[in-house]
């Protein structure tokens, strides 16, 4: 029996396969060899699409960020005529939500420079929002960096909390009791239900400070 025609692949197919590995096995398992094997290709064949692992990772980041701008617009109905603060908040919230969609997304977006088209477009939107509020361009760029750093930090804490919840739910009651140090940190324990809802509060305080600086 003759083999069938070779399956036609696109870069999007390869990126999708890389995300499947990311979800199932974690960031460390994402490699050119692993992705090629999952698609029935040789590593050499995959290099014709992506010349290096870094190129593959950057394509994954771009796909991850590709819907952030549209999500910000559709979820909040923010337009160019809306106040700068609403536009910045919409992009920050959309980025946080997108990072929560994929296990390992935080490690992925911090694996290299955010210099792809969609990453730069997100930064451009943030900078434009601050410039519209009257900030000098240099200060607007710093403000956009601060917002991105805040969102990435919050998303990392979200991921850690989800991992902790999963681990706790899988542990026996005796194991949870054994490793509980809550009594030694009463202030932290008392605020346990508050800190997890602090994203909007923290972002508002950050924007308050940036707005005062602009004024």
- Structure-token pair, residue 10: 């696109």
3-state secondary structure of 58: helix
Q: Is the pLDDT of residue 187 over 70?
A: yes
The reported pLDDT for the residue numbered 67 is: 84
What are the C-alpha distances in Å from 98 to residues 67, 167, 178?
A: 8, 23, 35
- C-alpha gyration radius of the chain: 21
- Structure-token pair, residue 201: 């509060």
The reported pLDDT for the residue numbered 197 is: 66
Mean pLDDT in residue range 19-46: 93
| Least confident span in 106-110, 120-124, 127-131, 179-183 | 179-183
Mean pLDDT in residue range 165-173: 61
Give the separation between CA 207 and CA 181, rounded to whole angstroms: 35
Alpha helices in 26-116 (DSSP H): 32-38, 43-47, 53-65, 68-76, 84-100, 105-109
Confidence of residue 85 (pLDDT cuts 50, 70, 90): confident
Instruction: Classify each residue of 14-39 as buried b or exposed e, where b means 16 or more C-beta atoms within 10 Å of its C-beta.
Output: bbebbbebbeeeeeeebebebbbeeb
Q: Assess contact for 92 and 147: CB atoms under 8 A.
A: yes
Q: What are the residue boundaries of the structural domains of the chain, listed by start?
A: 11-51, 65-214
The reported pLDDT for the residue numbered 68 is: 86
3-state secondary structure of 151: helix
What are the C-alpha distances in Å from 30 to residues 10, 34, 39, 56, 122?
A: 18, 6, 13, 9, 25
Q: Which residue has the higher pLDDT, 48 or 174?
A: 48
Average pLDDT, the chain: 83
Torsion of the alpha carbons at 92, 63, 59 and 46, rounded to the nearest 10: 160
Region 65-214: CATH code: 1.10.357.10
Q: Is the pLDDT of residue 76 over 50?
A: no
What is the pTM for the complete model shown?
0.79
Give the separation between CA 212 and CA 215, rounded to whole angstroms: 5
Q: Is the pLDDT of residue 172 over 80?
A: no
What is the rounded end-to-end Cα distance, in angstroms, of the chain? 76
Domain 11-51 annotated CATH 3.30.365.10: no
Confidence of residue 3 (pLDDT cuts 50, 70, 90): very low
The reported pLDDT for the residue numbered 182 is: 62
Q: Assess contact for 59 and 15: CB atoms under 8 A.
A: yes
Give the separation between CA 197 and CA 179, rounded to whole angstroms: 24
The reported pLDDT for the residue numbered 72 is: 66
């Amino acid at each position: 029996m003759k083999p069938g025609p070779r399956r036609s692949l696109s870069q999007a197919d390869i990126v999708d396969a890389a995300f499947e590995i990311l979800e199932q096995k974690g960031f460390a398992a994402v490699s050119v060899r692993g992705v090629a094997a999952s698609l029935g290709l040789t590593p050499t064949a995959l290099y014709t699409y992506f010349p290096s692992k870094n190129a593959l990772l950057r394509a994954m980041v771009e796909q991850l960020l590709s819907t952030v701008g549209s999500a910000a617009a559709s979820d909040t109905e923010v337009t160019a005529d809306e106040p700068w603060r609403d536009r910045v908040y919409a992009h920050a919230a959309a980025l946080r939500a997108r990072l929560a969609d994929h296990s390992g997304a935080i490690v992925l977006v911090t694996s290299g420079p955010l210099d792809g088209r969609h990453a730069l477009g997100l930064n451009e939107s943030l900078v434009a929002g601050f410039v519209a509020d009257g900030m000098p361009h240099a200060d607007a760029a710093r403000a956009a960096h601060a917002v991105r750093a805040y969102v990435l930090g919050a998303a990392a804490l979200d991921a850690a909390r989800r991992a902790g919840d999963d681990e706790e739910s899988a542990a026996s009651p005796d194991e949870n009791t054994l490793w509980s140090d809550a009594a030694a940190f009463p202030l932290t324990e008392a605020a346990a239900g508050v800190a997890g809802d602090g994203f909007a509060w923290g972002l508002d305080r950050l924007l308050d400070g940036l707005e005062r600086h602009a004024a």
